[in-house]
Structure formats: structure tokens, C-alpha cells
Amino acid sequence: MTPLAYAKADSEQNAIAQVGNGPAKYLGAGTNLVDLMREGVETPNRLVDVTGLSHVIEPTVSDGLLIGAAASNAAVAEDATVRTRYPALSRAILSGASAQIRNMATVGGNILQRTRCAYFLDIEGARCNKRRPGQGCDAYEGFNRGHGILGVSPACIATHPSDMCVALAAYDAVVHLVGPEGKRRVPLVDIHRLPGDTPHVETVLRPGELIIAVELPATSAAVRSTYRKVRDRASYAFALVSIAAALDVADGRIANIRIALGGVAPKPWRAHQAEAAMIGGLPERATFVAGAEAALTGATTRPNNAFKIELARRLIVAVLTDLAGATR
């Protein structure tokens, strides 16, 4: 079998010390990492199990919510506060994977899961710039129906597959990191990097850095939010397009609006341009259509995934229309 050392961390500092600088990996539930090891995509020589670290879900002093990185996806989805104040997060998680996987998978692992691009997963039979920088991308001219249309580059058109992260992006979540050089906080939307010419560099995490928590800022009770996912079967499939959206209407105008898209980009894609286009506008179809247009500005498609532009537009308009109706 693949030679491998395994250790369970009993503290953050202990985890950092054990990972060191070698080809080691933090291990959450392993629902993605172990799969990738079986495929030969990931080849760590050491796994440091961090599932024993914080998994609390607790209020913050600023009326937000702090979620330990080792919390299971299921625990977050079922949390009463999440369900009432961050419903899009609960729905996003429940729309992903299977009950068994959600019971195991951790919040930290969900953020750092890797793309499901078939060419990325096939180490023997396909070329991939993510696996081997400069090798070429077989997805570009191959099966790319599920691939990205925003933020992609000719070097890589893979998507980040998470549902959970899309909701976190909409809620302005902040990721708490700890590493050899200490602690820092990074907005969730800044954790993942766009591929450019270096698709193998996927996040801003520094060597040895560990996600220890995700913080959700306070949210207004007036804000309505939801998550909707479109996929090729009713369950157990990654998003073709998904959306997490939040809408706050005051005095008949859009006071606050957040849109994040999944299934379309190498990262959970916050549609800032669309938000800017709609804020202050009337909560009606014409505004949402204009917002959807803005959200897809700059999209680049391949023949197999060109439908995603129209699908994303429709989804944005439908979800915002629903939220606007619920707000009234």
C-alpha cells in the first residue's frame, strides 16, 4: 500500500508542528482527500487528522456565528441558528453530496475540496495543468459541460465544486487561519485564487496554514436568503449552476443584495457587479434581468457549457423574484 504516516492532532499548534514543511496534508473526514489519494492525484506522505479540533458552532460577540472547522457539514446544516438566520447555508449544504458524506465531511475540508474535473482526476490518461503545471489541459477541448464560465483561463476551466462555500460567500463569511506565522483572517471569497497561468495554486493559504473556523457576520432579520441548485439529477450531483442570494428591501427599494454563484467558476463566485447594478433599484423583474446580465458579463464558454450563461441568468432572475415576493 501507499506508504503513509498518520497522526491525530490534539491542538492547533500540535497540528501545525506535525504537518511541518514536507508533503503532508491536514485530514478532515477525507471525503475528498482520500478519494484523491486513491486516484493518485494527492500523494501526501503524512496525514495530520484535525477532526479532533474545534467543531463548536457558537455566537460571536458581534452577533455573528463562529463555526469550528471540524464541525461536520450535517451539524452546520442542522444548527438552529444557521437554519433561521443563514438558511441559504443550510440549504446549500443539504443540496450537496449524500447524507453519509455530509455526516462526515468537515467545514474546513469542504472549503479546500478540489475540482471534480475528469481530466484532473485521471492521472494516467489525461493532461492537466493543475496536476502538472504546463502539461496542458485536456478539458478545454474535451468533456467540459460542467466546467466554468467565469474567472477561468485557457490553462484551466475547472470549477470549485462546493455548495456550502457559495452560501458562505453570499454571507460575507470570514475564514480563520492559523499557521507557523500565527493567526490571520481572510474573507471566504478571497481564499481561492483564479487559475490564470498557475491553476495549480488554488488558494492563498501559506505552507502549513490550517483553517480553524469560519465566521459568519451578523445578518439582519429583514434579509431574506436562499440557495438553489441546478444539476443533472435530483440528488447526488454537482451543480451545473447554483446560486446563493440574499435580498433586503427597504422603502420599496433594494437596500442590500448579495449574489454568489456556484458551478460556474474556479471559486465560489460573488457577483459584485450584479449587486452594484441592482442596489437601490426597484425589486422587480427588470432590475433582476439587468443584474443577471451584469453577473454574466465577461463570461467565456466552451461549446459544451455555453448553456450555463442562459441558465445562470434565468436562475438569478427566478431566485431574486422569489425573494422579492417573500419580502413583500
Considering beta carbons, is residue 146 or 283 the nearer one to other proteins?
146
In angstroms, what is the minimal distance from the CB of 109 to other proteins? Answer: 16
Considering beta carbons, is residue 235 or 297 the nearer one to other proteins?
235
Instruction: Give how far the C-alpha of residue 299 lies from the chain's centroid of Cα atoms, to the nearest Å.
Output: 19
Considering beta carbons, is residue 141 or 181 the nearer one to other proteins?
141
In angstroms, what is the minimal distance from the CB of 49 to other proteins? Answer: 19
In angstroms, what is the minimal distance from the CB of 121 to other proteins? Answer: 8
CA 93/CA 152 separation, integer angstroms: 24
Establish how many alpha carbons lie within 13 A of residue 135's alpha carbon, considering only the half-sphere containing its beta carbon: 18
CA 18/CA 235 separation, integer angstroms: 38
Considering beta carbons, is residue 44 or 64 the nearer one to other proteins?
44
In angstroms, what is the minimal distance from the CB of 230 to other proteins? Answer: 5
Q: Transcribe 53-107 into DSSP letters.
A: S---EEE-TTS-EEEETTSBHHHHHH-HHHHHH-HHHHHHHHTSS-HHHHHH-BH
CA 29/CA 3 separation, integer angstroms: 19
CA 42/CA 44 separation, integer angstroms: 6
Q: Which amino acid is at 290?
A: A
**Binding-site ranges for other proteins (CB under 8 A):** 1-2, 40, 116, 118-119, 122, 124-126, 138, 141-143, 145, 230-237, 240, 307, 310-311, 314-315, 318
Considering beta carbons, is residue 143 or 193 the nearer one to other proteins?
143
Considering beta carbons, is residue 38 or 185 the nearer one to other proteins?
38
In angstroms, what is the minimal distance from the CB of 174 to other proteins? Answer: 31
Q: What are residue 212's phi and psi, to 5 degrees? A: -110, -20
In angstroms, what is the minimal distance from the CB of 215 to other proteins? Answer: 31
